[in-house]
Chain A
Amino acid sequence: MDFIANAVGRLVPTELEGRRLKPFAGAHADLAGGTGYGGRIRAAAQYTDKLLPDLDAAIEACAIRDGMTISFHHHLRNGDMLINLVMEKLAQRGLKDLVLAPSALFPTHEKLVALIESGVISHVEGSMNGPIGRACSLGRMKKAAVLRSHGGRFRAIQDGDLHIDVAFIAAPCSDAHGNANGLYGPSACGPLGFALADSLWADRVVVVTDHLAPFPCYPWTIEGGHVDYVVQVERIGDPAQIVSGTTEITRSPTRLLIAEYAARFVRDSGLMTEPGFSFQAGAGGVSLAFVKFMADYMAAAGITADFVRGGSTRFMVDLLNRGLTRYLLDGQSFDRDTVASLRDHPRHVETNPFVSYNYHSKGCFAQRVQVSVLGATEVDLDFNVNVNTHSDGWLLHGIGGFTDAADAHVTMITAPLVRNRVPIIVDRVTTVTAPGEMIDVIVTERGIAINPRRDDLQERLRHSSLPIVPIEKLSAMAVAMTGVPEKPRFNDRVVALIEFRDGTIIDVVRQLIPRE
């Protein structure tokens, strides 16, 4: 296997398991070009009745064979019942070497580890969760996993790098033609955009719903014209796990302090009061508090943002209802209030990874976001960020939308400097998920570091009372508390590729040699 050093200095293979790979060359080195990939189309005349009696009938109709790629979306989050159900049915049929292509996985999908170990699933292309990541780290997948960001997944499907044989789309609401949305029914989850690419390019598309509505099911995030079959089942998910009743702000004083620093940074930078202000924040502990602080500062200054971008929560909805933002652009909803707002508010807009994140297009709106607030497991002195592996070497997380959202004008990482004795700032990240050139600010409870590439931000914050320090100083503070951690040990086998959003390889994860 040939390895080549890429633009962030990581050795990556030029070819792996028959696939030719391009090394990462820079965050914006690649432009969209070439030709797209066309999926298979069958004659429309066969589709007068798409409704099948059950999942088994759909599996039969799709003629699933060994080695096929089966895809799912993750809008039902930890409440999802479909992935386990379908994969277990495929296992019972004796199928093997299947490629699992979900947009994300959750703790509820831990059962899939058994299917990986028994060879039903050869590998995962998409995301990871803890237990499946552990299996991957130990080399239990037959082939290397491929990790992609949400935008990167859309690109891979549209470009034909990820060919989906059969897409199963869990739909909270669908008609018999396959027009579907996530807004209504007992499993309502809000947007359904993560399934869009699957519906457009998979050879076979099966919509599975527990709420069959009369035609037309509108709005139709998934258009029936792309759907082969519709199956009605009793339940696609557990509503309590799909959206939480309410999302709550952290009580952790450290996290509150980090969130406050991040919001003050945005305020003190002057970005907040300039025309075209917008920001993106998710549902993590720090993010919710950040949104709350921003709401206070914006209200005090009389600011209305052009738009805010979620992962949406009731705190984002609150911004919309208080007139603190013109639009709420929503990729996924985290609580019940958000789903209701998406249904009812004309300026709460459902988005999908094409409009928001797909780099391989004529532009997505990620770059139009002024401030993006994201978490990380490690940041190094070059500002490279790791969200996939932990410092002990275990692969535990997917990329989510990280590399896409990091394309904002100002990308801020919020994280505790020391997390249960583990320092966040290291000399060299275990795995590079995103290059330092995309990361502008690190906000910790003990200080804020600005990327030296961003003189403009240094200048904007010159008179701020915030504790702005060089990243080396943050690192020294952490080491003074914890000591220098040991490095994990790996063998040579590549167990996962970290694909950048443009399809190049930014890093690889190797098989871990666990200590004891």
Chain B
Amino acid sequence: MTEQATVAKATETHRSEGALMPPVDVIEDASGITLYADLPGVPKDRLSLQVEANTLTIEGDLTLNAPEGMEAVHAEVGLPRFRRVFTLSRELDGDKVSADFNHGVLKLRIPKTAHAQPRKIDIRVS
């Protein structure tokens, strides 16, 4: 876990009162980071993604079409909201985030800025 992620977790617990923390997978490769988040029950129009000053916020409202007069007898998903915040590090390009949301799974691709891409350095032998 990177230090940025740890910092993000600290801010997140502070702010996440009244919201569920969606489980995520974060995978980094040479050209960027891929994030998957489970947001079941969130319709596309109730999902909000925000990148602001190196902070990525994922928020979603859960909508279940419950019949009228339903009485909950057992609830493991006990809040109608998801929220999770991450701090992006400098080499990530927050302006070029692409998102894909399908069957309640959000896939985010955050590319690294061009100058942060790995380069092979040639060693010259004199």
> Do A and B truly interact?
no
Q: Which residues from chain B sit less than 8 Å from chain A, CB to CB?
A: none
